[in-house]
């Protein structure tokens, strides 16, 4: 009531008396301060740590991007990418662009995993946990079941393929028998009509998964028990003296932890020195509140930020982000500087300071070799380079370009904001000013011809080439997809584009090659807009060859 009175007593606006809507917005803006958000994140992260301690053998995995805020980098084993839009009512889907197969293999190796995410909308779980991940588990289980049934029905294949796909003596248990659970497991709050609609499409999604060229045989080898989701939130009751061992379950547990409390109204909380407002799902939509702070920077300076209190928090964040920006700029890394605008209504209790923004985050995986393919290279400063099979192509972020790699002969840089590496020449370095599809719908399309010509020339000379962009997750992946589709045959061998002229270009064929790339570049997150541009480019190339 005090906050409402303060808002209502302010001077009249240009339009007259302050409306209820504007007053409510002003109150919400005052409550959603940077300090409140960071305090809420730290409070929820303590809950996540408690759950992780119940099953210390299970690795902790963050669902990008919100989940990164609730896990300290030293405790994080991997990341995954499941979108809530694939679980929205009436819009359910199984995305072949976000297969997360590295997560399934990782869970099979470690006996399960714990996935962390959160939501702002007052729900206990985001739709990514309520439906997207359960659908993913069921589709993978169904595909593995089909694979093993086919191997059994082949007769002679039982002594060859099944002998390695199934542990010895367990052929019946882990084949297509009733012991292999491939049904849909959804939480109890999902309506029966919605569950029936999802169940009716599982076979269709399993067909899509098999047709996209995924390595189902490796999944069959890695998973000895079917995947199954379990849900834990702050409202869940767990008897500590009866916590089951994950190895005793008849399935591979995918424990889904929703970090935040489900209250719809922010609540007042007290610390040893300061009072603060709890914000559910504070880590979501970081661009709107974080002022350039990243999860890695937050956890590195968490004690200073939280102990400084609400009056110093904004200035401390600005200083931390600026120092990090200067540190990266001195090393030729991507480090833009932007200004945080002052809101229309601010108070002395919430000083909005100017800050700077860095779009590059440190590696959050303390042991990335635990899930990355064997062809992944790590530099001395922790940067990661993913080699795509035996194609002589590698993808990485522009952080790697500043120092260069000893076994890379040439670099195709898709981010013009970074400096070329020392000693680079025109013959070994090409810079293309490509921006994301949200900024320019045709930027990638216009630059792909030069990228293909450069790659064709270097690969013909048997040169090893690095493709890099700002994050190493989107534009560089799409450029690699265009190169592999245009210049490589179906077996993944470079043929200078001969096979491209003889085959039809369909979205299914492009999807197969994207799955092939994602098998090695496990951090790949290509956007739909950029993938559309790659497809348009390939269709144009095919049309020109036909003419």
For the ranges 80-94, 232-246, 400-414, the lowest mean pLDDT is seen at: 400-414
- 268: tokens are 């007042």
Helix intervals (H) in 122-247: 127, 133-153, 161-165, 192-199, 202-211, 216-222
Q: What is the mean pLDDT of residues 311-336?
A: 83
pTM (2 d.p.):
0.81
- Pick 266 or 466 by higher pLDDT: 466
Helix (H) or strand (E) holding 523: none
Interatomic CA distance for residues 55 and 68, integer angstroms = 19
Residue 386, strand partner residues: 376, 395
Interatomic CA distance for residues 201 and 213, integer angstroms = 20
The region that residue 103 occupies, defined by phi over 0 for left and psi between -120 and 50 for alpha, beta otherwise, is alpha
Per-residue model confidence as pLDDT tens digits over 484-522: 999 999 888 999 989 998 888 899 899 999 999 999 998
pLDDT over threshold 70, residue 94: yes
Q: Give the pLDDT band of residue 391 (cuts 50, 70, 90).
A: very high
Percent of the chain with pLDDT over 70: 76
Interatomic CA distance for residues 303 and 181, integer angstroms = 46
Helix (H) or strand (E) holding 115: strand 113-117
Pick the closest to residue 227 from 352, 103, 401 (CA basis).
103
Q: What is the mean pLDDT of residues 314-342?
A: 76
- 200: tokens are 């009716």
User: What's the pLDDT score for residue 359?
Assistant: 28
Query: Cα-atom radius of gyration of the chain, to the nearest Å?
Result: 25
Q: How would you classify the pairing of strands 60-63 and 113-117?
A: parallel
Helix crossing, 443-460 with 528-546: angle to 10°?
Answer: 60
Helix and strand numbers, DSSP H then E, in the chain: 17, 13
CA pseudo-torsion sign 361, 362, 367, 370: positive
Interatomic CA distance for residues 78 and 122, integer angstroms = 27
Per-residue model confidence as pLDDT tens digits over 209-226: 999 989 999 999 999 999
pLDDT over threshold 60, residue 10: no
């Amino acid at each position: 009531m005090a906050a409402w009175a303060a808002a209502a007593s302010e001077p009249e606006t240009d339009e007259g008396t302050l409306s209820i809507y504007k007053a409510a917005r002003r109150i919400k803006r005052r409550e959603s301060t940077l300090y409140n958000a960071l305090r809420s994140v730290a409070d929820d992260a303590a809950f996540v740590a408690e759950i992780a301690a119940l099953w210390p053998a299970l690795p902790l995995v963050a669902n990008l991007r919100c989940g990164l805020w609730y896990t300290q980098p030293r405790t994080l084993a991997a990341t995954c990418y499941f979108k809530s839009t694939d679980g929205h009512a009436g819009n359910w889907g199984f995305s072949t662009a976000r297969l997360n197969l590295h997560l399934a293999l990782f869970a099979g190796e470690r006996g399960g995993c714990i996935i962390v995410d959160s939501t702002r909308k007052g729900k206990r779980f985001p739709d990514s946990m309520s439906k997207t991940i359960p659908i993913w588990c069921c589709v993978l289980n169904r595909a593995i079941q089909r694979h093993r049934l086919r191997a059994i029905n082949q007769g002679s294949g039982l002594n060859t393929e099944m002998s390695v796909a199934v542990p010895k003596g367990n052929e019946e248990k882990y084949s297509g028998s009733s012991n292999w659970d491939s049904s849909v497991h959804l939480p109890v709050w999902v309506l029966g009509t919605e569950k029936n609609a999802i169940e009716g499409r599982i076979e269709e999604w399993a067909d899509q998964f098999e047709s996209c060229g995924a390595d189902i045989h490796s999944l069959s080898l890695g998973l000895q028990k079917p995947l199954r989701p379990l849900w834990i939130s702050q409202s869940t009751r767990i008897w500590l003296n009866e916590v089951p061992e994950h190895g005793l379950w008849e399935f591979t547990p995918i424990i889904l932890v929703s970090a935040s409390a489900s209250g719809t109204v922010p609540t007042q909380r007290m610390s040893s020195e300061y009072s603060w407002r709890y914000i559910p799902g504070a880590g979501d939509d970081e661009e709107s509140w974080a002022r350039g702070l990243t999860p890695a920077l937050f956890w590195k300076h968490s004690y200073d930020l939280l102990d400084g209190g609400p009056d110093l928090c904004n200035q401390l964040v600005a200083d931390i982000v600026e120092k990090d920006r200067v540190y990266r700029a001195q090393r030729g890394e991507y480090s833009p500087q932007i200004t945080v605008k002052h809101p229309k209504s601010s108070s002395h209790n919430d000083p909005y300071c100017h800050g700077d923004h860095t779009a590059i985050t440190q590696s959050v995986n303390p042991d990335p070799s635990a899930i990355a393919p064997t062809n992944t290279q790590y530099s001395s400063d922790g940067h990661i380079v993913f080699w795509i099979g035996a194609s002589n192509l590698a993808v990485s972020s522009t952080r790697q370009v500043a120092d260069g790699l000893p076994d890379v002969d040439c670099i195709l840089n898709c981010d013009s904001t970074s400096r070329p590496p020392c000693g680079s020449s025109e013959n070994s370095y090409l810079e293309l000013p490509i921006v994301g599809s949200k900024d320019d719908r045709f930027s990638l399309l216009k630059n792909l011809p030069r990228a293909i010509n450069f790659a064709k020339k270097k690969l013909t000379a048997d040169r090893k080439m690095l493709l890099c962009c700002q994050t190493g997750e989107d534009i560089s992946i799409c450029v690699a997809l265009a190169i592999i589709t245009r210049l490589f045959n179906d077996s993944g061998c470079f043929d200078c584009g001969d096979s491209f002229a003889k085959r039809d270009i369909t979205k299914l064929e492009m999807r197969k090659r994207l799955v092939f790339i994602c098998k090695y570049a496990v951090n790949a997150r290509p956007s739909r807009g950029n993938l559309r541009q790659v497809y348009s480019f390939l269709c144009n190339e095919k049309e020109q060859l036909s003419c």
